[in-house]
Chain A
Amino acid sequence: MQTPPLEPGLVYVDQPDGRGAVAHVVRSAEATETLWVDAGGAASTYALTADGDRHALRGVRVARAFTAHQHHALVRRAVDVASGRTDLVVVPNVPALYEGADGPESEYDRLYGATCELLETLADALDVPVLVSAPTASDARRDRLHDRADTELTCRNTPFGYAVDAPGHTPPGYWRDGWWQTTVPYWVDVCGAVGDPGPTTADPVELVVD
């Protein structure tokens, strides 16, 4: 309910900061088996277990890259490592290790392009959502990834944690430790909006929601 349903394909996550937004999306996705290719330390197990529940780690497999070549190798390897049950692939901070790498710029540019292409192929081959992000990247590298994405999720910081929007979808509520923080769209859905002659309500309902 918190995040829009994830469709197979390359899903670009627009993050408000370099921290736990991707982990947040992964938590809410409740996938059976997640494959996570990490860069830049996004795979914090504490971000994945936001409420301290170790079970949240179940079904998540991680490999971390520390160099651009390792990153590329891991993305390449992901196809083989994925099983029939893999229903989500997560690749945060895609450009992180290619930026400012030791060596000729053209070598890493080419490697980065190939990695982006592989990610697209991976989404096709597995027919699962592949979450990617580029919170700290040059515009050029971010665009190269973004342009390939099939859908985009926008993550915002709110007083109740991250809110995730997709075109045509606003979350009806946020799960908070045993209770729901509802949103205006939720109540609009239930009661109709002011001026909207909804079938179930004779009179417009006035709603005050923080």
Chain B
Amino acid sequence: MGRTNPTYRDFLADYEGRWRDYRRALRHEAGADFERLFERARRHADAAGYANDPDRETLVLVSMLLAHETELRRLRERVAELEREAEGDTDGGPR
């Protein structure tokens, strides 16, 4: 009988399309960053679809923020790792 509502994944594709003009005016570097923004929103399309909130635009934004948070965590861990290595070097070697 078919679904009455479009899926969240369909919505996301449509929503991204609505930013076409914005995307077109961006400079090269920012353009790639912009694409990544939506790529990250898609990464959490499963959770957003399950949440099923009628306010889908907010779901998109939270998905993007979440991806940022993940990236921050990754970078924080990486910084800590590099700091440990740097400290190890400092401890072991002469000043």
Q: Is there a direct interface between A and B, measured as CB atoms under 8 Å apart in the complex? A: yes
Contact check, A57 vs B54: say whether CB atoms are below 8 A apart.
Answer: yes
Give CA–CA (A44, B6) in the complex, Å: 8
B4's partner among A44, A49, A51, A54 (CB-CB below 8 A) is A44
Give CA–CA (A56, B53) in the complex, Å: 13
- Taking CB atoms, residues of chain A closer than 8 Å to B11 are 46
Contact check, A52 vs B54: say whether CB atoms are below 8 A apart.
Answer: yes
- Taking CB atoms, residues of chain A closer than 8 Å to B58 are 52
Contact check, A66 vs B54: say whether CB atoms are below 8 A apart.
Answer: no
Task: Give the A-B contact count at a CB cut-off of 8 A.
Answer: 35
Among B4, B11, B55, chain A packs the most CB atoms within 10 A around the CB of: B4
Contact check, A49 vs B6: say whether CB atoms are below 8 A apart.
Answer: no
Give the secondary structure class of B's interface. Answer: loop
CB distance from B53 to the nearest CB of A (A): 7
Report how many residues on chain B are interfacial, defined by Cβ distance under 8 Å: 13
Answer yes or no: B1 CB below 8 A from chain A CBs: yes
Contact check, B1 vs A46: say whether CB atoms are below 8 A apart.
Answer: no
- Taking CB atoms, residues of chain B closer than 8 Å to A14 are none
CB distance from B30 to the nearest CB of A (A): 26
- Taking CB atoms, residues of chain A closer than 8 Å to B33 are none
CB distance from B78 to the nearest CB of A (A): 37
Contact check, B2 vs A41: say whether CB atoms are below 8 A apart.
Answer: yes
Answer yes or no: B87 CB below 8 A from chain A CBs: no
Give CA–CA (A54, B55) in the complex, Å: 8
Which 9 residue pairs are nearest across A and B when measured between Cβ atoms?
A52-B55, A49-B54, A66-B1, A41-B4, A52-B54, A54-B54, A44-B5, A43-B4, A44-B4
CB within 8 Å of A: which residues of B?
A: 1-6, 11, 53-58
